[in-house]
Amino acid sequence: MKYAVCDIGSNTIRLCVYELENGKIKTLVNNKEHTELAKYIENNLISEEGIEAAVEAILKHKETVFELGIEKPMYFATAALRNIENSKEAVAKISEKSGVFIDVISGEEEAMCDFLGATCDFEILEGVVCDIGGGSSEIVYFKNGEMCGGCSLPIGSLLAYKKFVANEFPDSKETENLKNEIGKLFDEQAFDIPGGLVLCGIGGSICSALSLYNMYYGLTSNMDMECEKFHKMLLEILISDNKRDLISKVSKSRIYTLLPGMIILDKIVSMLEISLIKVTYNGVREGYLIKNVI
């Protein structure tokens, strides 16, 4: 049986179609529309233009769902529609114009889906799952296959770019301000994570960071990032005159948001004294499928 999951995020609206084989998730379709909904948010309100952008992307994905004959597709939204003041009104308009029900999941639910998606691909007894999204960043601590605590920080790569970066790329002062903001937001959370664990990285920002890491260090078929080398690479790129060319080689759609996302990740691994990041392509969408179907 095939299942369709559409993730309405701050950077992209992505449709994945899956098939379950012996309890394993197989991806058949992975299509995205680079809508950047967060850029349509001002004064914590999404504009009519942003609503229309979301509707247009969802309607394109609906065509794929119809062509594949999938009867009960699932649509869910994260920070872009969750954290705005006009969330209910915007979701109602998008649902009415697109003809789909949208499940706006909480930060805690998103963290749980991140955990379920990431750990279905790893055999690690204790660690941290991290997802740097466009509008939020989720951090989960797990032990013995169980989620022990999690939080959703209300800042992601696109939101960080909008809030902290005046020009194309963050300068040293903007980088420091962003790191301070991440530290402040994390300190406000009510759970502790032991230091020195492995971090399971998921989501577009971290996967793009891995591609940049592999290109920078001449690696192939590699899914791990040593945090010390990641930090060194980030510092060197931040002061490089070749930022645009380097980033465009791995992700043209993240030229301006990748470095803010990497700064967030760098701060998180520093705070948690993490030395190794293991990246998986599974994440919140696979977790949502597991939570609601499997």
pLDDT tens column, 271-287: 999 999 999 999 999 99
Q: Tell me what percent of the chain is helix, strand and coil, each rounded to the nearest 5.
A: 45, 25, 30
End-to-end Cα separation, the chain, in angstroms: 12
Task: Quote the pLDDT of residue 190.
Answer: 72
% of the chain surpassing 90 pLDDT: 93
- Supply the CATH number for residue 200's domain: 3.30.420.150
- Name the token pair of 27: 């991806």
In the block, tokens 């705070």 appear at 271
Identity of the residue numbered 18: Y
In the block, tokens 């759970």 appear at 191
**Angle, in degrees to the nearest 10, between helices 204-217 and 227-238:** 90
Regarding whether 43 and 86 lie in a shared domain, the answer is: yes
Regarding whether 255 and 118 lie in a shared domain, the answer is: yes
Regarding whether 228 and 112 lie in a shared domain, the answer is: yes
Regarding whether 274 and 142 lie in a shared domain, the answer is: yes
> Measuring CA to CA, which residue among 228, 207, 36, 210 is closest to residue 117?
207
Regarding whether 252 and 239 lie in a shared domain, the answer is: yes
Q: What total number of domains does the chain contain?
A: 2
Task: Report, as an integer, the average pLDDT of 152-165.
Answer: 96
Residue 34 has pLDDT above 90, yes or no: yes
| Domain end position, chosen among 104, 126, 156 | 104
Regarding whether 134 and 246 lie in a shared domain, the answer is: yes
How many angstroms separate the CA atoms of 112 and 250, rounded?
A: 29
| pTM of the full structure | 0.93
How many angstroms separate the CA atoms of 91 and 95, rounded?
A: 6
Residue-number span of the structural domain to which 79 is assigned: 2-104
Regarding whether 145 and 7 lie in a shared domain, the answer is: no
How many angstroms separate the CA atoms of 288 and 109, rounded?
A: 9
Regarding whether 196 and 70 lie in a shared domain, the answer is: no
Contact 99, 66 (CB under 8 A): no
Task: Quote the pLDDT of residue 231.
Answer: 98
How many angstroms separate the CA atoms of 197 and 202, rounded?
A: 16
pLDDT tens column, 213-240: 999 999 999 999 999 999 999 999 999 9
User: H or E stretch including 48?
Assistant: helix 48-68
Residue 122 has pLDDT above 90, yes or no: no
- Supply the CATH number for residue 21's domain: 3.30.420.40
Task: Report, as an integer, the average pLDDT of 103-128.
Answer: 93
Regarding whether 151 and 29 lie in a shared domain, the answer is: no
Residue 96 has pLDDT above 90, yes or no: yes
> Measuring CA to CA, which residue among 94, 12, 102 is closest to residue 46?
94
